């Protein structure tokens, strides 16, 4: 790999000190760094990304990596995360180890791990992707929402809850985990449905095949009035849905490619992160 796109989170690298160190080390080793250009809303300006990029280096936390994975999904550029955040499940490299990490990249001592993504389509028109999760939740008031979940055209359940999380294996350690869902090995080919604060005693998470098609449909509320919910893709800006609206969710044809520099198992990483060490 010779050409690197540097995507930095200026909130975590305020003086861009770490960014400068990365660029200097890449240049010193005869490679080319290119700083990503970000617009006023924090999105990558796609037209200014060089065509010859071999790898994207993400300087921030898991949130920065998630955003980059979605915005670079169509380019299929491998990503390597440098952890300037806290837990960093996706960020492979700690700041102090950045030279060793880059040396491995220069020497070709790495593997590429493919992570599945979800595609969601709202009312057959608005489409988006997610590497972590697609969440449909109540909007506005604190009252619970009513919605149906279908799997492959068959009604799974009518939920009275705050919402539902449709999670990838990568996203299982995020909102899904906080809502009581299972932790899943990140390369597994499955999808997890986890209701949020359901008003029932028997509504546990459900694990499905990655090939299943999930539909979430907004119903009338308990009094027969129109319901309002919102759908988000990896926590991005919510899109309002009302009674009768549907979001169709399935496995995306795109994947996120993450560079792996160690053979450390996911379980070992999980144990370390959960202990905060």
Q: Which positions are annotated as active-site residues?
A: 62
User: 148: helix, coil or strand?
Assistant: strand
CB atoms within 10 A of CB 34: 17
CB atoms within 10 A of CB 116: 20
Question: Length of the chain in residues, anyone?
Answer: 277
Which residues contact residue 77 at a Cβ distance below 8 angstroms, ignoring those fewer than 6 apart? Answer: 5, 53, 54, 55, 56, 257
**Interaxial angle between packed helices 17-28 and 98-106, expressed in degrees from 0 to 180 and rounded to the nearest 10:** 30
Hey, which bits of the chain come out as E strands? 3-8, 32-35, 55-60, 79-83, 93-94, 111-122, 126-130, 133-138, 145-151, 154-161, 163-167, 190-196, 206-209, 214-218, 228-233, 239-242, 246-260
Q: How far apart are CA 133 and CA 191, in angstroms?
A: 9
């Amino acid at each position: 790999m010779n050409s690197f796109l540097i995507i930095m989170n200026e909130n975590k690298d305020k003086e861009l000190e770490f960014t400068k160190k990365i660029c200097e080390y890449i240049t010193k080793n005869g490679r080319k760094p290119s700083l990503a250009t970000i617009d006023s809303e924090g999105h990558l300006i796609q037209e200014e990304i060089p065509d010859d990029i071999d790898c994207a280096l993400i300087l921030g936390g898991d949130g920065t990596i998630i955003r980059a994975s979605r915005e670079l999904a169509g380019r299929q550029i491998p990503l390597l995360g440098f952890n300037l955040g806290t837990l960093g499940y996706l960020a492979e490299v700690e700041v102090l180890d950045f030279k060793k990490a880059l040396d491995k990249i220069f020497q070709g001592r790495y593997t590429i791990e493919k992570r599945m993504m979800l595609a969601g389509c709202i009312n057959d028109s608005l489409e988006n992707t997610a590497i972590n999760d697609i969440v449909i939740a109540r909007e506005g008031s604190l009252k619970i929402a009513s919605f149906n979940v279908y799997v492959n055209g068959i009604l799974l359940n009518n939920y009275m809850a705050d919402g539902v999380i449709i999670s990838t294996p990568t996203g299982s350690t995020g909102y899904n985990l906080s809502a009581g869902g299972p932790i899943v090995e990140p390369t597994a080919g499955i999808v997890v449905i986890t209701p949020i604060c359901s008003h029932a005693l028997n509504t546990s998470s459900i694990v499905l095949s990655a090939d299943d098609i999930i539909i979430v449909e907004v119903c009338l509320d308990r009094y027969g009035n129109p319901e309002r919910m919102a759908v988000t893709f990896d926590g991005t800006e919510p899109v309002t849905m009302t009674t009768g609206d549907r979001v169709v969710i399935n496995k995306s044809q795109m994947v996120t490619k993450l560079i792996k520099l160690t053979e450390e198992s996911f379980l070992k990483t999980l144990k370390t992160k959960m202990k905060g060490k």
